[in-house]
Amino acid sequence: MFNKRTDLAVEARDMYREDKDKEIPGVEVDVSETKGIKVTRVNIQQEVGARIMNKPVGNYITIEADGIRNRDRDVYEDASRTLGEELQRIAPADRDSTTLVVGLGNWNVTPDSLGPKTVSHLMVTRHVFEYLPDQVDEGVSSVCAISPGVLGITGIETGEIIEGIVSKIKPDRVIAIDALASRKMERINVTIQIADTGISPGSGVGNKRKELNHETLGVPVIAIGVPTVVDAATMASDTIDMVVDTMLKQADEGMEFYQVLQNMKGEDRYNLIREVLDPNVGGLMVTPKEIDDMVNDMSKILANGLNIYLHPSIGPGDVDRFIN
Amino acid sequence: MFNKRTDLAVEARDMYREDKDKEIPGVEVDVSETKGIKVTRVNIQQEVGARIMNKPVGNYITIEADGIRNRDRDVYEDASRTLGEELQRIAPADRDSTTLVVGLGNWNVTPDSLGPKTVSHLMVTRHVFEYLPDQVDEGVSSVCAISPGVLGITGIETGEIIEGIVSKIKPDRVIAIDALASRKMERINVTIQIADTGISPGSGVGNKRKELNHETLGVPVIAIGVPTVVDAATMASDTIDMVVDTMLKQADEGMEFYQVLQNMKGEDRYNLIREVLDPNVGGLMVTPKEIDDMVNDMSKILANGLNIYLHPSIGPGDVDRFIN
Amino acid sequence: MFNKRTDLAVEARDMYREDKDKEIPGVEVDVSETKGIKVTRVNIQQEVGARIMNKPVGNYITIEADGIRNRDRDVYEDASRTLGEELQRIAPADRDSTTLVVGLGNWNVTPDSLGPKTVSHLMVTRHVFEYLPDQVDEGVSSVCAISPGVLGITGIETGEIIEGIVSKIKPDRVIAIDALASRKMERINVTIQIADTGISPGSGVGNKRKELNHETLGVPVIAIGVPTVVDAATMASDTIDMVVDTMLKQADEGMEFYQVLQNMKGEDRYNLIREVLDPNVGGLMVTPKEIDDMVNDMSKILANGLNIYLHPSIGPGDVDRFIN
Amino acid sequence: MFNKRTDLAVEARDMYREDKDKEIPGVEVDVSETKGIKVTRVNIQQEVGARIMNKPVGNYITIEADGIRNRDRDVYEDASRTLGEELQRIAPADRDSTTLVVGLGNWNVTPDSLGPKTVSHLMVTRHVFEYLPDQVDEGVSSVCAISPGVLGITGIETGEIIEGIVSKIKPDRVIAIDALASRKMERINVTIQIADTGISPGSGVGNKRKELNHETLGVPVIAIGVPTVVDAATMASDTIDMVVDTMLKQADEGMEFYQVLQNMKGEDRYNLIREVLDPNVGGLMVTPKEIDDMVNDMSKILANGLNIYLHPSIGPGDVDRFIN
C-alpha cells in the first residue's frame, strides 16, 4: 500500500521504487544530466500510473541543480537556460500567442513568496501590444502576469480570481508558479518541477482548494513548482526512519521497536506524528535559515527561464539581462 | 470657458465660483464642520452641472481634516469615524451583502500606494463566510479585497481584472480606493473624497483607461479618493499666478505681462507649461517629503472608516482595533 | 546531566524540573496569572542556578498569552499593557534618560523580522529632543531606534554596529528585541521573555557571535525575546519522545528501543538527529504557516508595551494609539 | 552675484557659464563622450573655485547616460562599467583594504530609497574575511555595507551612526550613496555624480545636518549621488524663466515684468516662490511617475559599478552577474 503525499513526481516515483523495487506501471521515465544539472522527465501515460502516483496523466519534468545552494553562478545560468529549454519541450510556444503568468502564494511569508517574486522580475509586454502595437519589438511575445494573493489576504479563492481574469483577457496559455512542499530537505530550493497538467488542490505551501488546469480555465495550464519547505510532520517521520536506521547500524537493540515502526503503515505513523505535534498550531513548515537568499535566487532563475521561453529574441546568453 | 481638470469635485466647484462668483447650476451643495473636520456634500443633479464640473451626475462628499498633517490623534480618529458615517449616508450598507474593496495604484510608488496599503489593513472576512460559515461572528459582513496592480506591472488593464473578478464572485457592491491628483498642495493627504459614481478614466495618480462604475461592473461602485500628489504643471501654473499676484501687491511693474498671463486661457497656459517642462520626461508629480508617513496614516484612516461602515459590530470607539 | 539548550528561562526551568522534580537551586520563581495571561518571574540569584540554567545571574520574566494565537483583541491589549508593567518592574524607567531600542534580526526572513518590525512601529523622539527641544511634549521621553541588519546583509557583526552607535550617542539604556527559538511549538509567537541580562551569543533565530550586555556596551541592556521558530532538530527529538511515549501507552513492544533512546543523553540524541538531517543544508527552522500575521501582531504588542513603558503620557488605554 | 543651490557640480558650472559666459576660475574641466555616455570631470583646484561653486576643493565626476531613461540595455551596461572605471580613476582601490558602503536615505520614500536599494544589491564579503578567511575567493576585496535610515525613523543623526560604526570597524574608505536633488528634470535618474570630497550638510533629498568626509570620519569618503527629484520651488522658478522666455519670443508684451523678474536676484525669487508655495507643507519634491523603475535600474547600475570597482575578479563583462 503506497500513499504518502508529495507534490513532486520524482519523489512519488522514488517512494514507489524504494517500496517495490521496480518502475511504476504506465509511467515512462527519462533521465539525463549535463554540467551538474539533472533532468528527469516522467511521463504518466496511463490511469494505473496516475493512480499510483496520485497525479493526473501528463508530463512532469524535474530539474535538479544542487549547485544553486552554494550560489554557483554557472549553475544559476545553466538552470535558467535548462528551464527555458524544457518549457519549450513540454509546451512549444506559439509566439503569436498571449501568455498569462500567475504567481501563486503569499508575498508576506518568505518561503511562499516565490511566485509573486518571480512575477515581479518578469518581462511583461501585453500592454505594449494592446496600446502601442507599433512600439512592440520583434522577437517579443505578449506576456502578462499577476500575483493574486492568498485566501487569507483577499477573502477570495485564488482559482476564482484567475478564472475571472482568464475569462476576460482570454490568454492562449496560463503558467502558474508555486512554492511546493518536498519530503526531503535536500531538494529545497534546488529543484524545479514543470508539469503540463496544471495545479492540483491541496498542493503548494498554502492550501489551494480549486484546481487550475485546462478543464477549469479552458486553456492549457503549465505549472512550475519549486519546493521551498518541508512539511514538519513529514520531516519528523523521515527523521525517525533515519535515526532508527542509524541506530540499527550501531547496535542490535531496538529490533522489536523498529519492527513495530516498520510495520506501521507510513500514513498511520505520519498521522500519529501529526497528532503528537501540537494540534492547535496547525500546519508547520520547515525551512532553511537562508530561505530569503534562496527564494531570491530561484525567483530570478524562473524569471530568466520564462523570458528565454516566451520571447524569441531573448537567448541563452541573456541570463539576467531582461529581468526587473 | 471653464476647463481645468481636477479629480476633486470641491476643486471643480471652487474654480467655477472663483470664475463666475456663483454656485454651479444643477448642483446642490451642503457644508458642515465639526471638531476641525469639514464635510462638503456636492450633489450633481442635472446634466448641466455634470458638464460644467466634468463629472457624472451623482454624489460627491469631501472630508477635509487639516489636522491629519500634524498627526493629531483626535483628528485621526474623528476622520475615521466621519468616513464611516458618510459612507453609510451615501450608500447605506445592507449587511447581508458582499463587498469587494479594490485598492488601485502601484505599491512600488509611495504616493500611488494608498489603495494597496488600505487593502492590506482591511478586515477581510468573505472566506470565513464561504468556508467556515459557523465561525462567522455576528455583526460582521462579508468583505473581500484585492490590489490588482497597475498596467506597467501586470500588462493587464485594471478594469479588465476587476470586471473578471466581479463577474466571477458577484459582489453586491465595489468600493474602489485610489490616490488622486489635487490642484492644491494644501489638500494633499488631508482630504478624502467619496463618490457614488465610480472611477472615471484618466483619474488618479497613474493613468486609467477604463471606467469602474455601475455600468461597466453591473453593481454599484463607490470611489474613495485621496489626493496624494499635485500635477507638476498645475503646480507651476498656480505658482505663477501666486507669484504675479504677490508681485503686483508690491509694485506696479509687470502690469502688462500680468494682463497677458491673465488673458491667456487657463488651459492654454497649462499646455504652454507642459511643453516647457521637459516633454521627454512625461508625467511629473509633486509630493511632500513626508509622503510615506502621510500615506501610512491615511491608509489606516480609510481602513478604519471602511471597517466601521462595513461591519455593524465595529463601532466608532474601535478605531485601530480591527486593522491589520 | 542537564544540557539541552534553550533561549527561554521558563523552558530551562521546566526541563530541570521534569528531570529532577524540584526547583533549581539558587533560583527564585514567582508565578501569577490574570485574565489568561501568565507571568513567570525567574530570578537567578546564584552562580549554581546560572550554571544549571546556562544563563547569567539576573531576572527573566516570561509573559505567556495563548489567546494571541486566536487574534483575541482583549488578550492583545492586555499583553501590551502587561509588557509595559513588567518592563517597569524589571527596570524602572528614569524618564529624563535616553533609550536606544535595537531591532535584531533579518527583515527579509519572516520569523526573524520581529525586531525590525517592532522598531518600525515604535514612537521615536530623540531627534525632537535634539533639534526642536521646545516642541517636545511633556510626558514623552527620549527614544531612538535602529535595526542593524544581520551579518550576511551587512558584513558587520551586529554587536560592532551597536557598540559603535552606543559609544557615539551614549544612551542611558539599550533595549534589544530579538526573535528566539523555542523548544515547544505551543510557545511560538505567544510568549514574551524580558531579561535584564542582555543578549547572549548564539541566541536568537540567526547566529549572534557577540554579547550585547552591560559589560560590552557600558549601559544596562534589557532583552525582549519572542520565540518565533522551533529548531528543527529539537522538534524532531521532542517528536521522537512523544511518539515513543504514545506508543508505549498503546503496547509493550519497543521497550528495549525506548530504553536505548532514554539512556542516550539528550545532547547525544540531539546531535545524532542533527547529523541525520541533511548536514549540507545547515540550520533549519520550523514555523507555523501563519507566521506573517503572528509576527505582525506580536511586533505591535511589543511596540505598544515599549511605548507605555517609555513615555509617561502613554497610558494603558492607549494601545495602538501611538504606534506607526 | 551667483548663489543658486545645487547638489551637482555640472549644474553649478552650467549656471556660472550661462551667467558669465566663461569657465569658473580655479576649476579645471575635462569632458569626454563614448557610446552615448558623457563624462564630465570637474576638478576644483583652488578656493576661489570652491567658493563660486559652493563645493569643497576636490574632484567631481559626472556620468550622464540619457539612454537609461528608455531602459536601453547597452547603456545600462556601459553606465555600470563607466562608473567602475571612474571610481578607479578618482580613488584607485587598494584591494587589500576594507570598504564600508553607506546607503543614505529613506527606504519608505521611493525617490529617496536609492542608497538602501543599492546596498541591498551589493556583494558583501567582510564577514567571510573575518570569520571564514580560508573561504575567501581570490580577487575579492573586503566590503561591508549599511543603510542607517533617516533621522525621522531612527531619531539618530545619520552622521552619528556612521561615525560610531567607522570608529569600531575602521574601514580604509567609506563610499556614501545618496539621492540628490537636481535643478533640471532631464537629469533625473540618468546622471551619476562621484565626488572625492564626501557629503555636505543639506545635500540630498532629505536633510542631512552632519558632513560625512575625511575630516569627520578619519578616512577618505567618496560620495556617489544620483538626482532623483527636483525641488518644487526650483522647478517653479525655472518654469517661470522658461515661460517668460517662450512668451517673449512670441510677443513684446511683458517686457517690463520680465525685467523685474530678471532683476530680482535668483535667490530672492526662489525665496519668494518658497513663501508662495504653501509654507505649511514644507519641502516638496517633483518626480517622474515612473520613479520606481528608474530607481530600481539605477540602484543596480550603482551596485554593478561598485562591484567592478571593488572586486578585481569582477570584470566589465560581469554586469548583473554578482548583484543580489
Q: How far is D146 from chain C (nearest CA, A)?
A: 6
Residue A276 pLDDT exceeds 70: no
> Quick check: A127 and B152 CB within 8 A?
yes
Segment A289-315, tens digit of pLDDT: 889 999 999 999 999 999 999 999 999
pLDDT of residue C19: 79
- CB distance from A324 to chain D under 8 Å? yes
- CB distance from D35 to chain A under 8 Å? no
- Is B4 contained in some domain? no
Q: What is the pTM of this model?
A: 0.89
Band of the pLDDT at D106, cuts 50, 70, 90? very high
Of residues A233 and A101, which shows the higher confidence score?
Answer: A101
All residue ranges of chain C with pLDDT < 70 are 1-5, 201-209, 240-283
Question: B223 and B302 in one domain?
Answer: yes
Return the CATH number at C226: 3.40.50.1450
- Is C157 contained in some domain? yes
Which amino acid belongs to residue C218? G
Query: What's the grid cell of residue C280?
Result: 549540507
Question: C264 and C185 in one domain?
Answer: no
Question: D305 and D202 in one domain?
Answer: yes
Q: How far is B177 from chain D (nearest CA, A)?
A: 19
pLDDT of residue D310: 96
In the stretch 248-307 of chain D, residues with CB closer than 8 A to chain A read 293, 296
pLDDT of residue C281: 45
Q: What ipTM was estimated for this complex?
A: 0.88
Question: D193 and D65 in one domain?
Answer: yes
pLDDT of residue A232: 73
Residue A271 pLDDT exceeds 50: yes
Of B46, B17, B63, which Cα lies nearest the Cα of B195? B63
Question: C162 and C290 in one domain?
Answer: yes
Segment D19-44, tens digit of pLDDT: 788 889 999 999 999 999 999 999 99
By CB neighbour count within 10 A (0-12 exposed, 13-18 middle, 19+ buried), where does D56 fall? Answer: middle
Residue B324 pLDDT exceeds 90: no
Burial A237-266 (b: 16+ CB within 10 A, else e): bbbbbbbbeebeeeeebbeebbebbeeeeb
> Quick check: B168 and A151 CB within 8 A?
no
- Is D55 contained in some domain? yes
Question: D168 and D251 in one domain?
Answer: no
Nearest CB to B260 within list D110, D253, D288: D253
> Quick check: A322 and D73 CB within 8 A?
yes
Which amino acid belongs to residue A300? K
Segment C206-223, tens digit of pLDDT: 655 678 999 999 999 999
- Range ranked top by mean pLDDT from A105-109, A283-287, B129-133: A105-109
pLDDT of residue A257: 54
pLDDT of residue B110: 93
Residue B205 pLDDT exceeds 70: no
pLDDT of residue A280: 45
- Is D29 contained in some domain? yes
Alpha-carbon span B205 to B224, nearest angstrom: 13
Chain B residues inside the 8 Å CB shell of C322: 73
Segment A3-51, tens digit of pLDDT: 456 789 998 898 888 878 888 999 999 999 999 999 999 999 999 999 9
Question: C243 and C111 in one domain?
Answer: no
- CB distance from C321 to chain B under 8 Å? yes
- CB distance from C22 to chain A under 8 Å? no
Residue A4 φ then ψ, to 5°: -70, 140
pLDDT of residue B185: 80
Question: C93 and C222 in one domain?
Answer: yes
Q: Is there a contact between C221 and C166 (Cβ–Cβ < 8 Å)? A: no
Segment D238-292, tens digit of pLDDT: 776 666 666 666 555 445 555 555 555 555 666 666 665 554 445 678 888 889 9
Of B37, B126, B114, which Cα lies nearest the Cα of B80? B37
Q: Is there a contact between D219 and D166 (Cβ–Cβ < 8 Å)? A: yes
Segment A190-226, tens digit of pLDDT: 999 999 999 976 666 665 567 899 999 999 999 999 9
Q: How far is A320 from chain D (nearest CA, A)?
A: 6
Question: A183 and A314 in one domain?
Answer: yes
- CB distance from D246 to chain B under 8 Å? yes
- Is B173 contained in some domain? yes
- Is A139 contained in some domain? yes
Chain D nearest-CA residue for B264: D247
Question: B114 and B76 in one domain?
Answer: yes
Q: Quick one: average pLDDT of B159-168?
A: 97
Question: B153 and B251 in one domain?
Answer: no
Alpha-carbon span B185 to D4, nearest angstrom: 24
By CB neighbour count within 10 A (0-12 exposed, 13-18 middle, 19+ buried), where does C72 fall? Answer: middle
Average pLDDT, rounded, for chain D: 86
Rg (CA), chain B: 20
Q: Quick one: average pLDDT of D219-247?
A: 79
Average pLDDT, rounded, for chain A: 86
| Domain count across chain D | 2
Q: Is there a contact between C8 and C190 (Cβ–Cβ < 8 Å)? A: no
pLDDT of residue B323: 87
- CB distance from B321 to chain C under 8 Å? yes
- Is B3 contained in some domain? no
Q: B254: domain range?
A: 235-281
Weakest-pLDDT range from B171-185, B287-301, C258-272: C258-272
Chain D nearest-CA residue for A296: D324
Question: C123 and C98 in one domain?
Answer: yes
pLDDT of residue C275: 62
Q: Quick one: average pLDDT of A174-193?
A: 92
Chain C nearest-CA residue for D127: C155
- Is A1 contained in some domain? no
Chain D residues inside the 8 Å CB shell of B269: 243
- Range ranked top by mean pLDDT from A260-274, D46-60, D204-218: D46-60
Other chains touching C, judged by 3 or more CB pairs under 8 Å: A, B, D
Which residue's entry shows cell 533532468? A39
- CB distance from A74 to chain D under 8 Å? no
The fraction of chain A above a pLDDT of 90, given in percent, is 57
- CB distance from A232 to chain C under 8 Å? yes
Suggest the residue from A321, A322, A323 to mutate for an interface test with chain D (most D CBs closer than 10 A): A321
> Quick check: C127 and D155 CB within 8 A?
yes
pLDDT of residue B268: 64
Q: How many beta-carbon pairs under 8 angstroms link A with C?
A: 155
Alpha-carbon span D306 to D119, nearest angstrom: 10
- CB distance from B109 to chain D under 8 Å? yes
